Amino acid sequence: MASREPTSDDARVRKAPVISGSRTALDRSRLGLSVALYVTVFLFLTRASLSVAQAQPPGVDTASLSPTDSIAPPDAYPRPVPSVTAADAPNDNGGSVDVTWEKSPDDADGGKVRRYKIMRAEAVGGRPGEWTEVGDATAGATRLTDGNTQDDRDYFYKVVAVNSLIENGAARWRAVAESMVAGPVRSKAQWFDLRRVNALVGVTLLCSLLGYFITRARSGKALFIRKIAGLEAVDEAVGRATEMGRKIYYIPGISDMDNMQTIAGLTILGRVAEVAATHDTWLEVPVCRSMVMVTAKEVVKEAYSKVGRPDAFHEDQVHYLTDDQFGYAAAIDGMVMREKPATMFYMGEFFAESLILSETGNAAGAIQIAGTAAPAQLPFFIAACDYTLIGEELFAASAYLSKEPKLLGSLKGQDMGKALVLVAILAGIILESLGVVDFSTFFSIGE
């Protein structure tokens, strides 16, 4: 083997002698720097893979969006939202997560943000799995509720700010910017809705007042109830029908048994039926709902039995017409114009047919007593009827007519409740005028 002349490279190699089995100080520092460099790069890449928007190349379309036929101009890309928070939606039955975010700095009138897309990924091994879109919001929005989660799973969320150019209903280009990932978060159900504490306080207070006054009434204490003209006139109205030998019509409204006004109307029907049975006057009750027919029949039958006139009751007194609002009104109008009843009662929930019925009754010459808790119909009844029970007077009628102490006591409790409401309103006016707004927020329910 021929030897060669030593070169300058050989000299460079010889200048750094390698001592096997140990390291020099220089090598340690180099190693340290290398390790530091590798760790830094690794962390940087890891953070980038957790969707740091700045590290992501712009224009990555992670949303499930339809393809566009142009690429967005470079200055179209919005800045991402600075922060995203995901938390279990409170006061619900689970299955919901509230996602809130700060607006993108480019979210302003004429800015670069048109919409926000909210993305969700289920946790897989503690890390976000596949991302899917769960909702979108217009520019300016800062929250969205994902109502489609399962309580036994963890989720991650991120918000994508979207800028796009829409022409003829299609997106020409789209520029997006992703936020940081928020999570993991898990939804769960709550056992008490904290937003309704004030309602609980109000209900408890009102029921306590009712209970107190009912108890007080049962003890024999006399209670003053002001006169209600419409109810005072019931006997007179029934008597008029008896004298004229004509019918009484009782219309219990057009709502079904799930409406409190209908129940109040049927309660009054019982009292009116007792008076009609006593006077031996024909009471006709055309109804709009089948279940109301069944209940009204029982009420009238019992009323007749109570006054000792079960033989005077006829099955056909209470009959069904139709569920349709105007069909019902037309049928009653026809019957009223043909039979010309002497007395008409309208007690229950009414809508547009209220004036049709009451004007026809007026044209037929009947004395009319109405009662409804539908505020829009009260003016029509007041204009067309002789007596009108306004709002809560309808619910007070049962107690008023029966004069039973327990029922009268509940009226008193209701009035006390109204007094408390008045005090609260006055207090609210004063405090709001002085700028103390927390008082009124106590009465709001919900977010």
Q: How far is the CB of 85 from another protein (least distance, A)?
A: 16
Distance CA 256, CA 263 (A): 9
CB of 386 to another protein, least distance (A): 11
Q: According to CB under 8 A, which residues from 186 to 215 bind another protein?
A: 189-193, 196, 199-200, 203, 206-207, 210, 214
> Any contact of residue 260 with another protein (CB under 8 A)?
yes
What number of other Cβ atoms are within 10 A of residue 405's Cβ? 18
Query: Contact with another protein (CB under 8 A): which of 329, 336, 364, 369?
Result: 329
- Cα–Cα distance for residue pair 204/189, rounded to 1 Å: 25
CB nearer to another protein: give 71 or 203.
203
Q: Does 322 bind another protein (CB under 8 A)?
A: yes
413 lies in the site for another protein, by CB under 8 A: yes
CA distances from 241 to 338, 340, 344, 384 (A): 16, 11, 10, 19
In the set 320, 340, 428, 439, which binds another protein (CB under 8 A)? 320
Cα→Cα distances 33→16, 52, 72, 98, 156, Å: 19, 26, 41, 44, 35
The minimum distance between CB 370 and another protein, in angstroms, equals: 13
Site string for another protein, 212-241 (x = CB under 8 A): --x---------------------------
Q: 272-301: which residues touch another protein (CB under 8 A)? A: 287, 289-291, 293-295, 298-299, 301
Using the minimum distance from each CB to another protein, give the nearer residue, 51 or 388.
388
Q: Which is nearer to another protein, 36 or 189 (CB)?
A: 189
Q: Which of 130, 258, 280, 438 binds another protein (CB under 8 A)?
A: 258
CB nearer to another protein: pick between 135 and 239: 135
- Which residues between 376 and 405 bind another protein (CB under 8 A)? 376, 378, 380, 382-384, 390-392, 394-396, 398, 402, 404
User: Quick one: which of 43, 47, 65, 69 has its CA closest to 56?
Assistant: 47
Please identify, using beta-carbon distances, which residue of 154 and 339 lies nearer to another protein.
Answer: 339
Select the residue interacting with another protein from 77, 271, 343, 368 (CB under 8 A): 271
428 touches another protein by CB under 8 A: no
Range 336-355, binding another protein (CB under 8 A):
338, 351-353, 355
Residues 130-169 touching another protein, rule: CB under 8 A, are 133-139, 143-148, 166, 168-169
User: Closer CB to another protein, residue 52 or residue 233?
Assistant: 233
Closer to another protein at the Cβ: 186 or 301?
301
| Binding piece for another protein, criterion CB under 8 A, among 20-28, 123-131, 236-244, 257-265 | 257-265
With CA atoms as reference, report the closest residue to 225 among 21, 410, 439, 38: 410
Applying the rule CB under 8 A, the residues between 87 and 126 that interact with another protein are: 91-96, 114-115
Nearest-approach distance from CB 153 to another protein, in angstroms: 16
CB of 159 or CB of 210, closer to another protein: 210
Contact status: 57 vs another protein (CB under 8 A): no
Q: Is the Cβ of residue 35 or residue 445 nearer to another protein in the bound state?
A: 445
Q: Between residues 3 and 221, which has the closer beta carbon with respect to another protein?
A: 221
Among 33, 35, 421, 423, binds another protein (CB under 8 A): 421
The smaller minimum CB distance to another protein, of residues 48 and 244, is found at 244
